[in-house]
Structure 1
Amino acid sequence: MTVADEKKALICLIAGLLRDCNHVAVGAASPIPGAAALLAKAAWGSPKHVNILGSVANNFFTGGGGELFDCAAQGRIDAFFLGGGQIDGKANINLMGLGDYPKSSPRWPGTFGSAYLYFLIPKVILFREEHSRRTLVEKVDFISAPGTSADHIYRKGGPFGLITSKAFFRFDKDKERFRLVSVHPTSSLEDILDNTGFHFDYSEDTPETPSPDPELLAILDRDVRQKVAEVYPNFADAIFPMTSGVEHVK
């Protein structure tokens, strides 16, 4: 399986998780989640609305991040994606940096409202391609956004699951821990156990992540690639070699 095929498989996996949504928002610099939202809309008409920050053609926000936050507070966004330099077993994410804050080194871009969105959006999918003990840690160095909250704290949003280049985990809110749902074809249970820094629930016979439906891949290649190229041109050229020399959608 080529790198492009692996990324397409992740796009198709994530797309399937968005079919029950009406409005999906995607932050900047998120090509795989963005492509997945566009694929779900093209394949099933659901989500009906997709907003990708940084896009012109696929973004009806006129107020940028401020409007995203307003819509989240009004309950008008069903799914969003968060990542982090570190993610731990309680679904806490760290976007600030390594080591003790404020002396973190290196420093990362910062939280940019991630905690706010984590509390308000019902289905937050954590996405981090790198699957290693460096990124998936026992305990984050700094909590930019907490995965769980005390019962007395109002919170309608939170982690749905975690997708990496090796596996798909669901988050169990009652147990406050992840459960391994499937292992991608390019990995193995032993590989995941070796490269995950936090404890998680799993079965010895955890299934393999299903291969993408050929019809879904065809829609991705035929109908979605130029929409992806409009906002992520370098990414599109990397996973859709045929886009070379093809005019990107304006």
Structure 2
Amino acid sequence: MNDLLLISALAQLLAPRSHVLIGTNAPHHMAAALLAQRTSSRRMQVTVIGAGTRSFLTDDLDEIFHCAAQGRFDALVLGGLQIDGRANINLVGIGEHPRMRIRSSGSHGMPLLYLMIPNVVLFRLGHAPRTMVERVEFISAPGLSPPEVYRPGGASHLLTDMALFDFDRIRGRFVLRSVHPGYTADQVVSATGFRFDAPAEAPLTPLPRGEAAQILHDHVCEAMAGTYPAFAASLKKAAAHQLAADPAKTA
């Protein structure tokens, strides 16, 4: 899937927010947040864990949880080894504990962030029945909580390399918003292990505008180079290719 499309789609989801938190090992997340910061109509702050000047935190592993509980962040991008139809995420592994056949990086405090930060965008490359499952094998963080549990946070969307979904927290169910170019709604259904709602005709996810490619090329890639040098170089090349292919879109 085209990185430009994913980053542009994610940036549009983040643009209405005021303070976006981005984790580690997440180049797509960082690129989208910086693009949103440049294109948003409001003043947006972006905090990237472990990225030096991109983080206002003095102690990433401690202070971040206090800030989340205090409501200082209003958006988070979060991945997962598995995601199910109720927005539960598995960050631990697959197979019977403790001898799991696949081990992931672990939760690292993400359950608290998932409960405290509103507008969490779930992001997963490799959309397939093994990743989009009917029920995760291990619930690292629940998508829904009982009414008596204080929970300002939770999923708002799911973005994969095939489609974009909204999450209806009242019904506890994903709703297909759009399908990325090159795929069909039927292909999304076949690749998804859980049931979801969909319109009669799902629209295509909009292709990134020339303005977005220009901002990525001129500003975002440079800002990312110190943290993700290889990804920034590849993204800058892709943005330049799109601009050269349709220079009229840069106007």
Report 1:191-206 matches (<5 A): 191-206=187-202
Aligned 8 A contact 2:16 2:40 in 1? no
* Equivalent residue number for residue 27 of structure 1: 23
Task: In structure 1, list runs of 5 or more residues that go unmatched.
Answer: 244-250
* Equivalent residue number for residue 39 of structure 1: 35
Aligned 8 A contact 2:168 2:175 in 1? yes
Which secondary structure does the structure 1 equivalent of 2:233 belong to? helix
2:104 paired residue among 105, 108, 120? 108
- Does the C-alpha gap of structure 1 residues 141 and 228 become closer, same or farther in structure 2, counting only changes over 3 Å? same
* Equivalent residue number for residue 120 of structure 2: 124
| Separation in 2, partners of 1:29, 1:190 | 32
- Does the C-alpha gap of structure 1 residues 194 and 13 become closer, same or farther in structure 2, counting only changes over 3 Å? same
* Equivalent residue number for residue 225 of structure 2: 229
1:168 alignment partner AA: L
> How many residues are paired up?
239
Superposition TM-score, scaled by structure 1 size: 0.91
Task: In structure 2, list runs of 5 or more residues that go unmatched.
Answer: 240-251
Aligned 8 A contact 2:4 2:238 in 1? no
| Separation in 1, partners of 2:220, 2:77 | 19
1:47 Cα offset (Å): 5.2
113-122 vs 212-221, which moves further: 212-221
1:186 Cα offset (Å): 2.2
* Equivalent residue number for residue 159 of structure 1: 155
1:76 Cα offset (Å): 0.3
* Equivalent residue number for residue 189 of structure 1: 185
Aligned 8 A contact 1:24 1:47 in 2? no
* Equivalent residue number for residue 168 of structure 2: 172
* Equivalent residue number for residue 60 of structure 1: 56
Aligned 8 A contact 2:82 2:132 in 1? yes
Does 2:121 align with 1:94?
A: no
**Deviating runs (4+, > 4 A) in structure 1?**
none
**Offset from partner CA, 1:209-241 (integer Å, 9 cap, x none):** 111121122111111111121211111122223
Superposition TM-score, scaled by structure 2 size: 0.91
Aligned 8 A contact 1:18 1:47 in 2? no
| Separation in 1, partners of 2:116, 2:238 | 40
- Does the C-alpha gap of structure 1 residues 47 and 197 become closer, same or farther in structure 2, counting only changes over 3 Å? farther
RMSD across aligned positions (CA): 1.5
1:45 Cα offset (Å): 6.0
- Does the C-alpha gap of structure 1 residues 167 and 41 become closer, same or farther in structure 2, counting only changes over 3 Å? same
- Does the C-alpha gap of structure 1 residues 160 and 242 become closer, same or farther in structure 2, counting only changes over 3 Å? closer
- Does the C-alpha gap of structure 1 residues 242 and 89 become closer, same or farther in structure 2, counting only changes over 3 Å? closer
| Separation in 1, partners of 2:42, 2:184 | 32
| Separation in 1, partners of 2:43, 2:77 | 15
Aligned 8 A contact 2:128 2:191 in 1? yes
1:204 alignment partner AA: A
**Offset from partner CA, 1:44-98 (integer Å, 9 cap, x none):** 3645211111212312211112121111011000101111111000000001110
1:149 paired residue among 142, 145, 148? 145
